[in-house]
Amino acid sequence: MPTGTRLTLAGATGLAGTVARAFIPDRYDTEKAVARGYQGILTVTVDGREAPVDVLPADALTEADTPYDKLAADIVGDHAGNLVRIRIGNAKPRGYHSTGLVANWYGQLVTHGWPHGDVYLEIRQGRPINPRAPTRQGLIGDEALRRFEAWVTDRMFAHVAALQATDENDVL
């Protein structure tokens, strides 16, 4: 028997179908599933089918050696007890756009412009940055965000400084 909250909707067939499609869209719109981001926090089942709760690889940045390794993070770290993945530069494989900073705020994906690459911050403890309330339609440009941006920039510079040229024609 599953544990947790169970929600039963009673209403017109059209409404039930609309709600089901929001959680489990057709195969061409899977990136629009409303529960994306809640992996590790909750499981959503609609009519016996599990809704996708993972974060898209283009947003979360992946570990190397995966089918999505062209979206792999250059730097993986920990900021205030939360996972951070950083990809330097904005070049992505065809079909993917630069996401800037994606903060996964306890399951809610909050985006913020970031000019120096892509950053994924998975917040599961504390308040290392502050989303705009109540809508989570961006981040507050406060001291917490400035500290995080400085932390990311320091890691990016350290990563680039540690790179070794492979021959005399390489420019770092």
Mean pLDDT per 10-residue run, the chain (172 residues)?
Answer: 63 78 75 78 83 76 58 86 84 60 89 84 94 86 95 92 69 54
Q: CB count, 10 Å around CB of 60?
A: 24
To the question of pTM greater than 0.85 for the whole model, the response is no
Q: What is the dihedral of CA 68, 44, 122, 59, to 10 degrees?
A: 40
Tokens coding 94:
């065809």
pLDDT value of residue 135: 73
The pLDDT score that the predictor gives to residue 143 is: 97
* pLDDT at residue 1, as a whole number: 46
